[in-house]
A and B are shown apart, each in its own frame.
Chain A
Amino acid sequence: MISKRIEKPDARLSIGFIYIAFIALFLGGLMGLLQTLVRSGEFTLPFGIGYYQILTAHGVLLGLVLTTYFIIGFQYTLMSKSVGMSEKQRKWAWISFTMMVIGTLMSGTMILLGKANVLYTFYAPLQAHPIFYIGLALFVVGTWISCFVNFSQLRQWKKKYPGEKSPLMAFMVVINMLIWLISTLGVAATVVLQYIPWSLGMVEEIDILVSRTLFWYFGHPLVYFWLLPAYMAWYTIIPKIIGGKIFSDSLARLAFILFLLFSIPVGFHHQLTEPGIDPFWKYIQVVLTFMVTIPSLITAFSMFATFEMTGRKKGYTGLFRWLKGLPWKDVRFLAPFIGMVAFIPGGAGGLINASNQLNGVIHNTIWVTGHFHLTVATTVVLTFFGISYWLIPVLTGRKLTKQINKLGIIQTFIWAVGMTIMSGSMHIEGLLGAPRRSAFSNYGGTQQAQEWVGYQIAQAIGGSILFIGILLMVYIFIKLAFRTPKGEEEFPVAEYADPTERTPKVFENWRLWIGIAAVLILIAYTIPFIDIIQNAPPGSPGFKWPIGNT
């Protein structure tokens, strides 16, 4: 794999994105702590702050700000490393950054003022302040610029090296940005064409089911946009850290192509219990949803193949003794590894959620919250932390010290314990029927609601442990960004186990894959979407009072 030095101006760009991600981690984590405390029934918020206000802030800060900024920043370094960046591209990247920040600040201010207590899904006809929606639109358009910068980086490289296969890192980044671009077309359409005119009073009514369908057309690919950067690190970086090699270039590319094809035409599995959508089309999208298990199975195999080959190469034999050959005391490996382990129950829970009729048992219960705290908040976030330990020093020209490595191992351990307690009790409480997105309530004093309280106290304990983990991570971030000794930290880039392996040319036929992705989307959505529009009931006026936006 070709690897270039990260030039200073490129480093500044990436670290800019990552600063914002860590600010969001701290603030969003604090909101999460407060939520678990409120829901334990033992604590009320001071100064008239609303539970649903901090819930909105938590979801937006961690689900959208932390993830998107970290991912775009990280992907820029992968692109700089593998294909390089021109001056013009860098200028556009900064424009993208600026638009995203302005959009984030606009929406964030409305949440702080209590004018947008709509949670990060902002379901109509709850109506927030128009600036909330305009900020969101600006943020999304800002990210689009980054998509096109990444595309042009790879195109420029291809021109320079005609006929050569593109570097794996750049290939993966481009796939992820394609998923993001195609899927955000849906959320942008609903925000720009429906929410903004409606919240400004230019139109009276909004079509609820159209807005929800467009939202979920975006909402599920969003989770793969979070997950794929973790996979990038697992495929292209972790093998180097453990002293091994990439198992197979073609399998890695195949997995990413399958994600491009199957992560988008699946939004209905979030709408299984909704009226107005024909159950036949729900089932079709359920089938498409399950296709993404295939690239995840490929990834699981590749990872453990790399681990086992590395362990055996170091002289460890036996059925499981090769595990001893892995660098357990290196946080750059340990944190992502714990993330991988969390993806086993996380993925299994996801299969349950998407299972057509079985979804009714857990839909909108706190089980779902437990689920995505395993997948996003553990698998993805621990991998992002694992990346941060070397990426931040690379970008700031410092070294990862032994002391920080040790603190990182403690941080990983705290995270694993806190999340096991919190997510575990969420899963059980959800199976008993307790809802998500709810402040503390005794539900008219039923026996069931009383049984839930114990689990909510466990969530507050887990949440408190996790907040200690966040404080420690923020401390580590500050150390790595401003305090540890100057030096040159290694940017780990793995090599192939078999450099002579030939990757099928067809994997780089972008027109073909984008074309198939488009066809699948059209198959999954055209007929049901026309049905939804043709059979639409009268639209809904906006409701501001239920969210206290008066």
Chain B
Amino acid sequence: MHLHKYEKIWLTFGIGSLLVFLIVLGIGAFYQGTQPPSCLVTIDPQNVQAHESFKEESLGLQKVGENEYVVNVLASAFQYNLGKDDKGSPVRTIRIPKGANVTFQATTTDVVHGFQIAGTNVNMMLEPGYISDFETTLDNPGEYTILCNEYCGIGQHTMSAVLEVYEP
């Protein structure tokens, strides 16, 4: 098969940059550890409370160490259960100090949901039977919208909460 000279240059350049690009992605994923969220832990979707992280008292923000937090989230159509505050009403805003190490841990009791914190890299699918997690550090103080970005029913757009990152 005959290839025009310019076409050879074009394809060599194209395929070459593709290889470089894929190697960069691979180094990012396997050497530096920036993998897409891929938690492999399963759970019974009809009995999530059996898992320690999703018992009523474990939900929401938990301090687990010096400057280290876990946020346990239980999603269901159409809300995120983030635990209860001192007065017993549901928590709508999570407050985390800037620069803390945070792991978001979430699952769903019913259909597929999304868990996204707009303006950050936290973005994962929540599927019945699986726990999803995302470990991160939030460096920019401010108010962030937590929202469901996968279609979960006719009230999907009402499913949201707030994350506040404050200067410690």
Q: Does B143 contact A (CB under 8 A)?
A: yes
Tell me if B111 and A447 are in contact (CB < 8 A). no
Q: Does A176 contact B (CB under 8 A)?
A: no
B18 cross-chain contacts in A, Cβ below 8 A: 290, 293-294
**Residue ID in chain B nearest A356 by CB atoms:** B25
Query: Contacts A274-B125, A275-B127 hold; do A356 and B36 have CB atoms under 8 A apart?
Result: yes
User: Which residue of B1, B38, B114, B129 is within 8 Å of A254 (Cβ)?
Assistant: B1
B37, chain A: closest CB distance, angstroms:
5
A338 cross-chain contacts in B, Cβ below 8 A: none
Query: Contacts A125-B110, A435-B149, A540-B129 hold; do A275 and B124 have CB atoms under 8 A apart?
Result: yes
Query: Contacts A298-B11, A361-B121, A437-B151 hold; do A356 and B29 have CB atoms under 8 A apart?
Result: yes
A503 to B2, CA, bound (A): 9
Q: Does B150 contact A (CB under 8 A)?
A: yes
A248 to B8, CA, bound (A): 14
Tell me if B111 and A126 are in contact (CB < 8 A). yes
Q: Does B128 contact A (CB under 8 A)?
A: yes
Q: Does A434 contact B (CB under 8 A)?
A: yes
Query: Contacts A276-B42, A357-B36, A538-B45 hold; do A546 and B152 have CB atoms under 8 A apart?
Result: yes
Query: Contacts A208-B112, A273-B125 hold; do A437 and B162 have CB atoms under 8 A apart?
Result: no
B131, chain A: closest CB distance, angstroms:
7
A70 to B143, CA, bound (A): 47
Q: Does B103 contact A (CB under 8 A)?
A: no
Residue among A118, A540, A548 facing the most chain B CB atoms (10 A cut-off) = A540
The contact string, 1 if C-beta is below 8 Å from chain A, for chain B 123-162, is 1111111111000000000011101111111111110111
Tell me if A209 and B123 are in contact (CB < 8 A). no
Q: Does B14 contact A (CB under 8 A)?
A: yes
Q: Does A438 contact B (CB under 8 A)?
A: yes
Q: A-B contact count, CB below 8 Å? A: 232
**Residue ID in chain B nearest A355 by CB atoms:** B25
Q: Does A194 contact B (CB under 8 A)?
A: no
A357 cross-chain contacts in B, Cβ below 8 A: 25, 28-29, 34-36
Query: Contacts A443-B160, A449-B145 hold; do A294 and B44 have CB atoms under 8 A apart?
Result: no
A209 to B39, CA, bound (A): 13
Tell me if B157 and A208 are in contact (CB < 8 A). no
A248 to B156, CA, bound (A): 50
Query: Contacts A438-B156, A449-B145, A546-B111 hold; do A535 and B42 have CB atoms under 8 A apart?
Result: yes
Q: Which residues 377-425 of A have a CB within 8 angstroms of B?
A: none
B17, chain A: closest CB distance, angstroms:
9
Q: Does A243 contact B (CB under 8 A)?
A: no
User: Which residue of B25, B131, B149 is within 8 Å of A364 (Cβ)?
Assistant: B149
Q: Which residues 1-38 of B have a CB within 8 angstroms of A?
A: 1-4, 6-7, 10-11, 14-15, 18, 21-22, 25-26, 28-30, 34-38
Tell me if B121 and A446 are in contact (CB < 8 A). no
Q: Which residues 342-387 of A have a CB within 8 angstroms of B?
A: 355-357, 359-361, 363-365
A305 to B137, CA, bound (A): 50
Q: Does B100 contact A (CB under 8 A)?
A: no
Tell me if B44 and A537 are in contact (CB < 8 A). yes
Tell me if B161 and A363 are in contact (CB < 8 A). no
Tell me if B38 and A364 are in contact (CB < 8 A). no
**Residue ID in chain B nearest A507 by CB atoms:** B1
A469 to B40, CA, bound (A): 47
**Residue ID in chain A nearest B21 by CB atoms:** A290
User: Which residue of A283, A433, A436, A543 is within 8 Å of B29 (Cβ)?
Assistant: A283
User: Which residue of A297, A444, A540, A541 is within 8 Å of B11 (Cβ)?
Assistant: A297
Tell me if A437 and B42 are in contact (CB < 8 A). no
Tell me if A276 and B92 are in contact (CB < 8 A). no
Q: Does A113 contact B (CB under 8 A)?
A: no
A538 cross-chain contacts in B, Cβ below 8 A: 44-46, 129
User: Which residue of A250, A283, A447 is within 8 Å of B1 (Cβ)?
Assistant: A250
Q: Does B43 contact A (CB under 8 A)?
A: yes
Q: Which residues 242-274 of A have a CB within 8 angstroms of B?
A: 248, 250-251, 254, 271-274
A444 to B78, CA, bound (A): 13
User: Which residue of A286, A435, A537, A546 is within 8 Å of B147 (Cβ)?
Assistant: A435
B128 cross-chain contacts in A, Cβ below 8 A: 125, 208, 537, 540
Q: Which residues 46-66 of B have a CB within 8 angstroms of A?
A: 46
User: Which residue of B37, B111, B157 is within 8 Å of A273 (Cβ)?
Assistant: B37
Tell me if A444 and B160 are in contact (CB < 8 A). yes
Q: Does B77 contact A (CB under 8 A)?
A: yes
Tell me if B151 and A52 are in contact (CB < 8 A). yes
Q: Does A223 contact B (CB under 8 A)?
A: no
User: Which residue of B10, B117, B156 is within 8 Å of A437 (Cβ)?
Assistant: B156
Residue among B40, B110, B147 facing the most chain A CB atoms (10 A cut-off) = B147
Tell me if A543 and B158 are in contact (CB < 8 A). no
User: Which residue of A297, A363, A432 is within 8 Å of B123 (Cβ)?
Assistant: A363
**Residue ID in chain B nearest A272 by CB atoms:** B36
A298, chain B: closest CB distance, angstroms:
7
Q: Does B118 contact A (CB under 8 A)?
A: yes
A297 cross-chain contacts in B, Cβ below 8 A: 10-11, 14-15
Tell me if A287 and B92 are in contact (CB < 8 A). no
Q: Does A123 contact B (CB under 8 A)?
A: yes
Residue among B110, B120, B129 facing the most chain A CB atoms (10 A cut-off) = B129
The contact string, 1 if C-beta is below 8 Å from chain B, for chain A 471-513, is 0000000000000000000000000000001011000000000
Query: Contacts A294-B18, A444-B160 hold; do A276 and B25 have CB atoms under 8 A apart?
Result: no
Tell me if A276 and B40 are in contact (CB < 8 A). yes
A-B contact pairs, 9 of them (CB 8 A): A274-B127, A275-B132, A356-B29, A364-B123, A441-B158, A536-B42, A537-B43, A538-B45, A546-B153
Measured CB to CB, the residues of A under 8 A from B are 50-52, 117-119, 121, 123-126, 208-209, 212, 248, 250-251, 254, 271-279, 282-283, 286-287, 290, 293-294, 297-298, 301, 305, 355-357, 359-361, 363-365, 432-441, 443-444, 446-449, 501, 503-504, 535-541, 543, 545-548
Measured CB to CB, the residues of B under 8 A from A are 1-4, 6-7, 10-11, 14-15, 18, 21-22, 25-26, 28-30, 34-46, 77-78, 92, 110-112, 114, 116-132, 143-145, 147-158, 160-162
Q: A294-B11, A435-B149, A443-B160 are in contact. List 6 more A-B contacts (CB 8 A).
A: A208-B112, A275-B126, A278-B38, A283-B26, A294-B18, A446-B145
Closest 3 CB pairs of A and B: A546-B153, A433-B118, A537-B129
